[in-house]
Chain A
């Protein structure tokens, strides 16, 4: 059996392998290229008008009257902030509780019941959440607290529910990544379950939990259809929780279909602001989770 069999064949295969490697590299750059193309197009469409009218009048102007060439995005920027803060105020306590219960308190059977339910939460289309807001939450707020019902409060609650899956799944990962020896050590020292969570697990999983909150924030900032349905979309800084509010995303979606000329450019400029916010959040989340990976 000695001697070369099919000597050339193997070499040809190897050359094929090099070609395949090259092809895969090209494919692997698809995600990066898409990101790049999106950036180029959004920024390319959105920034000229910002230069034309000045960044200050865009970012700090409080009047949004495109028909009068007034493109102040300040109310929408503040609106996005308010709604996101509200969503976090609701989503984070619920989300972290679920994560802790899932990893520390629930029996295997209960976990098996709760986990799919929460995964299901992530799959429900955002329009369905928005719809639930319209038919249940908005009338409830209007009857109970007054005002139009379409409000910061309604948007915060619905978005708070919508960010739950993100917050839960990433916090669960972070909590599970804490080495079991920490947990055992703490219990061995006589700490109760809750004390262990509070004193040992939370600090150990902190960066992962922060990452989960930041990613949840990204989801809340970026959500569009649900917000548009329940926020009321008034282009004014809301004076109370019950006042209507317009976010950056709703500003785009609300007027995109109809806009032409500079109005459309201004909506792309809105997109640019949103894009920058999201990229900053992404980068922070990436950095915290990278730190987490380095320091186990």
Chain B
């Protein structure tokens, strides 16, 4: 008797759970995956969007630009988020620029160095300049902090600053903008690069080639470290994906972006 009761209970559990067992991608859920740089903003959009569309689930996953693009290609998500330009075999996807983001080279607020040339930054990250002294700072070893291989932010930095030169192997490597910021905020000798939107009072963004990292300078083209934030999809976005992208590109969506420190595209 007891066994039968246990079996029944188990069966009931399974039955109770099974309607909840929806496959991802099915039903009314829109899945975004990709760049962790875009993720916080996408979360913000999703939060606001779902307030006006309560029956419309938006699920934002990280994973990084490359993974997001791959997930989009394979159909695991409807929208891939990329913080770098598409390349190679990714070019058959449709990309929409939904915002632009400045890359800030950040140091500890106590660091006397306020401005650098892009070529200096390149030499620092190549491991050729090891001390702050030739740059006008104290005679201390520079703690270089970079992002990991595969990150869109690193990809953009590589493309915009480093060119063909490698970031040197001894650089401290972390896997998110937030972590880079934390480390720079705590180490007086550190330098790193993060999304301009994430610069706060804990770190200082350096002027590059005489231009401060401001929205204005990015707008007028004087600050050069800018990358696009892309939503990519297989073919023209349709249905729910279209609705969401339209919302992001709408005045309200873009205003949200501006508030968070990104550059609107409209």
Contact = CB atoms under 8 A, between A and B. Distances in A.
A–B contact, 8 Å CB criterion (strictly below): yes
Contact of B150 (A150, A244, A246, A263): A263
B190 interface: yes
Given A66-B150, A150-B183, A263-B149, A258 B63 contact: yes
Interface residues of B, number: 31
Given A66-B149, A67-B149, A149 B169 contact: no
A260 B172 contact: no
A65 B149 contact: yes
Contacts of A146: 141
B150 A259 contact: yes
B67 A254 contact: no
B66 A260 contact: yes
**Helix, strand, loop or mixed for chain A's interface?**
loop
Given A149-B187, A150-B183, A260-B66, A64 B169 contact: yes
Contacts of B186: 138-139, 142
A99 interface: no
B148 interface: yes
Interface residues of A, number: 33
A234 interface: yes
B65 interface: yes
A150 B179 CA distance: 13
Interface string B182-197: 0100110110000000
A13 to B, nearest CB: 14
Given A150-B172, A246-B173, A254 B148 contact: yes
Interface of B: 36, 62-67, 69-70, 141, 143, 148-151, 155, 158, 166, 168-175, 183, 186-187, 189-190
30 contacts: A62-B169, A65-B149, A66-B150, A67-B155, A67-B158, A68-B166, A147-B141, A147-B143, A148-B189, A232-B173, A233-B148, A233-B172, A233-B173, A234-B171, A235-B173, A236-B168, A243-B170, A254-B148, A254-B175, A255-B149, A255-B175, A257-B36, A257-B62, A258-B64, A258-B66, A258-B67, A258-B148, A258-B151, A259-B64, A259-B66
Interface of A: 62-68, 75, 138-139, 142, 146-150, 228, 232-236, 243-244, 246, 254-255, 257-261, 263
